[in-house]
Amino acid sequence: MNPTQSDAVNKPLKSLDEWEDFVVQHYPEPSAESAAKKPAVGVAPDKKQEEFRNYEAEARPTVREFYRLNHTHQTHDFVKAKHREFLGLNRMTMGVWEAAEYLNQLVDDSDPDTDLSQLQHLLQTAEHLRRDGQPRWMVMTGFVHDLGKILCLWGEPQWAVVGDTFVTGCAYSPKIVFPKFFEANPDSTNPVYQTRNGVYEEGCGLDNVLLSWGHDEYIYNVCKDYLPKEGLAMLRYHSFYPWHRESEYGHLLNDKDRALLPWVQKFNPYDLYTKSHTKPDAVALRPYYEDLIREFFPEKIRW
Ligand SMILES: [Fe+2]
Ligand SMILES: [Fe+2]
């Protein structure tokens, strides 16, 4: 494979923001009017069938290609292999602020004048939580939530770092975006994986299922000894839109998941709808965050 072909497979998106912009379009911020009609916070209002078709037609070709690769290659076995490869956390030892600066090297083809750097997105999310008076552990969670994107710096393709996550090893929820791209996934012809429960038991709990692999599962594992369970759920499931926005996979949940869902939903708007072109001043904010980091994390942690 020549470098150009490899780039097409690894980096169909001009920037990771293209995926996030698509998610914002697909799940627009609920207006006050529609929020009043909605039964529960964080649950998408009913959409007509034709609206579901529209998002596919309107998506940028780069985004479509990204989802095609993601849905084709994220198999149950692929996820198991990535857990073995990365969850031993044997790659690096570094502090949390250091990791944020390390991630900030991730520069893609986005417009440097208008797009936010990775560090700026983390600071905007965390600062919005702080302004709203949310607890310090939640501000901390906001600051670290996307640090798992360092996987891109280690050569992982975009489709194995970002994307709306879904459960592997059982039937695909029809609410996952671009469902037809699953036709090319080898799991789609494995009869064991295509029943409602697949390899799982009813009510087994999300701790026991394998979601498609990406930055969420990775950062959850990096942080799992240091943050409260509500913050850890925010990290692990923040891209799990079929669950926290579409209310899918109810048959796999246990009481712990049902108790944590409102926290995951509470976090989502801070991630999706806080992007503004007013860039946070990282130099001025650093002392506050260094202090916050010391409250929750040791000086160095394993990555
Ligand atoms: Fe994320
Ligand atoms: Fe984010």
Domain-wise residue ranges, the chain = 3-302
Strand ranges (DSSP E) for 5-117?
Answer: 93-94
> Which ligand is located closest to the Cα atom of residue 239?
1
Angle among Cα 166, 170, 213 to the nearest 5 degrees reads: 35
**Ligand 2: centre distance to CA 190 (Å):** 33
- Ligand with smallest separation from the Cα of 274: 2
Ligand nearest to the CA of 128: 2
CB neighbourhood size of 217 (10 A): 24
Residue found under tokens 């959409």: 47
* Residue 94: strand pairing partners: 301
Cα angle at 222 between 107 and 126, to 5 degrees? 60
Give 192 Cα–ligand 1 centroid separation in angstroms.
30
- Ligand nearest the Cα of residue 235 is 1
Query: Which helix (H) or strand (E) covers residue 276, if one does?
Result: none
Residue type, 241: Y
Measure 122 CA to ligand 2 centroid, in angstroms. 7
Give the pLDDT of the chain (303 residues) as one tens digit per residue: 455 567 778 899 999 999 999 999 999 987 644 544 444 444 444 555 455 558 888 899 999 999 999 999 999 999 999 999 999 999 999 999 999 999 999 877 666 666 789 999 999 999 999 999 999 999 999 999 999 999 999 999 999 999 999 999 999 999 999 999 999 999 999 999 999 999 999 999 999 999 999 999 999 999 999 999 999 999 999 999 999 999 999 999 999 999 999 999 999 999 999 877 788 999 999 999 999 999 999 999 999
CA-only gyration radius of the chain, Å: 19
- DSSP-derived 3-state class of residue 17: helix
CB atoms under 10 Å from CB of 78, counted, come to 18
Distance 140 CA to ligand 1 centre (A): 14
**CA–CA separation, 195 and 172 (whole Å):** 9
Instruction: State which amino acid sits at residue 256.
Output: K
Helix or strand (DSSP H, E) at 253: none
User: Residues whose CB is under 5 A from ligand 1 (ion)?
Assistant: 146
